[in-house]
Amino acid sequence: MDHTNNNLLAVLLMFFSSLLLMRTSMAAYNYNVVKFGAKPDGRTDSTKAFLGAWQAACRSAASVTVTVPRGSFLLKPVVFRGPCRSRITFQIYGTIVAPSNYRGLGNSGYWILFVQVNRISINGGTLDARGASFWACRKSGKSCPPGARSMTFNWANDVVVTGLKSINSQVTHLVINSCNNVVVRKVKLVAPDQSPNTDGLHVQNSAGVTVTDSTFQTGDDCISIGPGTRNLYMSKLNCGPGHGISIGSLGRDAKEAGVQNITLVNSVFSGSDNGVRIKSWARKSTGFVRNVLFQNLVMKNVQNPIIVDQNYCPTHKGCPKQGSGVKISQVVYRNIQGTSRTQHALKFDCSRSNPCQAIRLHDIKLTFNGRSATSTCKNIKGVKAGVVMPQGCL
CA distance 116 to 154: 6
- CB-CB contact of 364 with 333 (8 Å): yes
Cα–Cα distances in angstroms (integers) from residue 227 to residues 39, 152, 284, 291, 389, in the given order: 41, 17, 15, 14, 31
Q: Of 258, 206, 200, give the one whose Cα is nearest residue 231.
A: 206
Amino acid identity, position 209: V
**Tally of CA atoms within 13 A in the half-sphere of 118 that contains its CB:** 6
Active site residue 202: no
- CB-CB contact of 90 with 33 (8 Å): no
Residues 6+ apart with CB under 8 A from 122: 90, 92, 151, 160, 161, 162, 164
- CB-CB contact of 168 with 205 (8 Å): no
Q: Of 363, 246, 350, 352, give the one whose Cα is nearest residue 308.
A: 350
Amino acid identity, position 259: V
How many residues are there in the chain?
394
Pairing of strands 356-368, 374-378: unpaired
Cα–Cα distances in angstroms (integers) from residue 349 to residues 1, 246, 309, 328, 345, in the given order: 84, 15, 5, 11, 13
CA distance 81 to 63: 17
CA 278 to chain centre: 17
Q: What share of the chain is helix, strand, coil (3-state, %, to 5)?
A: 15, 50, 35
Which of 3, 173, 202, 243 is an active site residue?
Answer: 243
CA distance 219 to 136: 14
What 3 state SS string does 47-81 have? HHHHHHHHHHHHHCCCCEEEEECCCEEECCCEEEE
What is the set of active-site residues?
243
